[in-house]
Chains A and B, each alone.
Chain A
Amino acid sequence: MAEPLESNSKITIHPAVFYRNISIPTNDVFQITVENNNEFPVQISTSTGEFTQDPKTLSNTVIGMDLFNNWFSETSKEIPANTTEKIEVKMDISENTTFEKASYFPTIILHVTAGENSEAVGTNFEYAIPVFLQSLEMIQPDLEIKKLDTEKLSIGQEIEIDTEIQNTGNTYTRPSAYLEFFEVNPLNKDNKTRINTITLNTDQITLLPESILIEKNTWERKSPGYYRAKLHVMIGNKEIDTESSDFWLISQAWLNSLYITAGILLGLIILFIITRKIKLGEKILGGIKRVTQRLFRRRNKK
């Protein structure tokens, strides 16, 4: 059993992400605050890397080192024990640069060094700070609803709604999206009443191109009925895509009373049929009896 985590000598950096619009040429400075809570000094040196995003888990991962050294300066600084200091990394995109893509995803790597390794296995650690860069002249932000799934009939007082929103543009974007629920007229499928909404992407995740925001939400409603879930996807305040799905929501209690009513009706029908059959049987038996009696009478007369 591991012991409880105590306050210990971590190094904290912030901000741990940057967003910038770039053009040719660009000069910019990234200021990173390093809090060294150790009892010893550490040496921080910087380099670059590239990051990407797993399109399904949305985890940012470092995929290469030293790929943007021509854009970012390298710097090094000693941070004394229990001290907070700022590190500056300069970005210089020269006039003779050609942007081949609308967006770039470098990382500023902060290497932490504290003393020389001399033993069998040396370990060290570093921070990768994602830098989201986009050229406003080239970007075409876009989002697409890949999935809006509900059951067509849900028994109970809630329904699960699966949604998938994909970044189909050529730059990063943080989608704003919400599900809007309506009561629907089942005959003409018109929206009758707007009921409420569920906000999506409350985690405020930034999607890289091709990444998919997958969410599962539950909508609750006590009244049985025919409803519509309408998904709105926006970039900023501009609606980019919308889709809807209609479904029946029938509560178990309502279904039970429906079963009971149907059972009673069925019972009444059966009772009616049985009664009719008994009367018919009686009529048939009566007829046979009458015919038999007549026959006996005729025979007796003879």
Chain B
Amino acid sequence: MRKTAYNFLATASLSLILGTFLAIFSSFSTKVVAQNLESDNYRIIDPSIDAGGNDDASSGTYNLLDSIGGSINDERFESSNYKLGTGIGYTFMANVPVVTYFQTDDSAMIALCGEGGCYNRAKFELDPENNPTETLYLVEISTDDWTTVQCIDGTTKEPKAISSKNINDYLTEATWEAEDFNLLGLASSTEYKIRLRALNGDFTESEPGPDATESTTDPSISFDINISGDTWASTSAPYEIDSWEITTVAPSTADDLIWLDMGTNAVAGAIIQVRDTNQGLLSSYTGESIDSISDDLSSVSEGFGLKVDTSKTLPATGQPGYFIEASTYDTAGAQEVGELYATPTIIFCTRPNSGDNCSTGTGEPISGARSGIWLKARAAPIRSAASDYTDQITFTAIGTF
């Protein structure tokens, strides 16, 4: 009797457990269908579910914002001002990055590109908009308001066809922003628009971010001469050094200096060349001349030449480069001068470091370059005295672009 009761209880428990399992299983496996596909007034024949809703979700007075299975089917999700991301795909997408800096000619870029700003290079910076640091970014660029879209090559940093983009064109924020210039090969005097896309894993590329617009400048060079004493002053033309007394007993120096001012955004800087009409001081009256030489006038009987006063050279710190005097005119002795020739000869160059010279290395753009040049002469005792010893010195500036 007791045994029968135990058997009954065991069977009942087992049935209860099995029943519970079956109920749970059936709740998962049974298809959920609409219960009321028909009523007294209507019947829906052959019900099915399409992806993406149906055309009857709108009329003249209403519009159903409807999305099934991630599909987007309403034109109002997007306008020219906003875009609503709906569906499962958007949860995996990287956040849309924003360009926070895109410049060619602000003070920071002038400090890199020289006077006038950058004509073929630019720099941009971005806000990752909470994307993680390993997120990659693609730069899209256009000169015609996105009618034609190019992208920036991740290795050369130059624009290329968007159809040729590859994963190497997607770089991290740190890699893009590590360079002084991250946009190269741009055309001068051209307005560019850029925008960014973010990528943080397969199938996660974001929509392009908002545009940033900037124009490149023109390649330019500025140059000026002033004639003034030991202190620089802006003077009017003609740029003349007044006659000064040239003696036989010792070298003499003109009262005024020739001051040169220059600035350029030429990528490899600029040089100033000097050439001389008479290659010395010539007197039309006597027909005699004091020839130009490279020597120390205190140790020779006669000569004429230029000496750069390096204490007057600017900029003191590279902006972005330094104004460097050529060794011919950067003479050591107080009365030592460099010779003037009929053919153009380098007198100044621009270089990236203050200790550089004009014979080696490549040039650098410059802003606010200035220096002063002394004229020195000494006449031999045999030289006829005259008041019309004259000369014509021409300075030529040329950039390396």
Contact = CB atoms under 8 A, between A and B. Distances in A.
Q: Do A and B bind?
A: yes
Interface of A: 1-5, 8-17, 33, 38-40, 42, 51, 53, 56-63, 107, 109, 113-130, 176-178, 180, 194, 196-197, 199, 202-206, 214, 232, 234, 237
B267 A42 contact: no
Given A39-B236, A199-B179, A203-B362, A62 B221 contact: no
B138 interface: no
Interface in B208-255: 217-227, 231-232, 234, 236-244, 254
B224 A202 contact: no
Contacts of B267: 203-205
27 contacts: A2-B313, A8-B226, A10-B222, A10-B224, A11-B223, A12-B220, A16-B218, A17-B219, A17-B399, A57-B362, A60-B398, A62-B273, A63-B343, A63-B344, A114-B236, A120-B240, A120-B391, A121-B392, A123-B392, A124-B239, A125-B239, A128-B396, A128-B397, A176-B158, A196-B175, A205-B267, A206-B401
A241 to B, nearest CB: 15
B399 A202 contact: no
Give the size category of B's interface with A: 35 or more
A12 B266 CA distance: 13
Contacts of B370: 2, 5
Contact of A62 (B185, B232, B315, B398): B398
Interface in B363-401: 363, 368, 370, 372, 375, 389-401
B99 interface: no
Contacts of B168: 194, 197
A121 B224 contact: no
Interface of B: 116, 120-121, 154-158, 160, 164, 168, 175, 179-181, 184-185, 188-189, 217-227, 231-232, 234, 236-244, 254, 258, 260-261, 263-264, 266-269, 271, 273, 281, 311-315, 343-344, 346, 349, 358-363, 368, 370, 372, 375, 389-401
Nearest to B272: A125
B391 A5 contact: no
Given A5-B261, A127-B221, A202 B237 contact: no
Given A107-B398, A123-B258, 7 more contacts: A2-B313, A8-B234, A16-B401, A119-B240, A127-B221, A128-B398, A202-B121
Contacts of A15: 188-189, 218-220
Given A57-B358, A119-B241, A202 B311 contact: no
Nearest to B310: A2
Contacts of B242: 119-120
Contacts of B237: 38, 40, 42, 113-115
Contacts of A59: 268-269, 271, 346, 349, 358, 362-363, 400
Contact of A61 (B157, B346, B368): B346
A3 B368 CA distance: 12
B231 A5 contact: no
B227 A127 contact: no
Contact of B314 (A5, A180, A199): A5
B236 A38 contact: yes
A53 B400 contact: yes
Given A11-B224, A17-B401, A178 B393 contact: no
Given A8-B261, A196-B175, A197-B154, A114 B223 contact: no
B264 to A, nearest CB: 7
Contact of A14 (B116, B254, B362, B363): B116
A234 to B, nearest CB: 7
A123 B225 contact: yes
B157 A199 contact: yes
B181 A202 contact: yes
A95 to B, nearest CB: 31
Nearest to B258: A123
Contacts of B120: 204
Contacts of B116: 12, 14
A14 B238 CA distance: 24
Contact of A120 (B311, B372, B390): B390
A125 B392 contact: no
A130 B180 contact: no
B396 A202 contact: no
B346 to A, nearest CB: 7
Given A2-B370, A125-B397, A127-B398, A205 B362 contact: yes
B393 A5 contact: no
Contact of B156 (A8, A176, A196, A205): A176
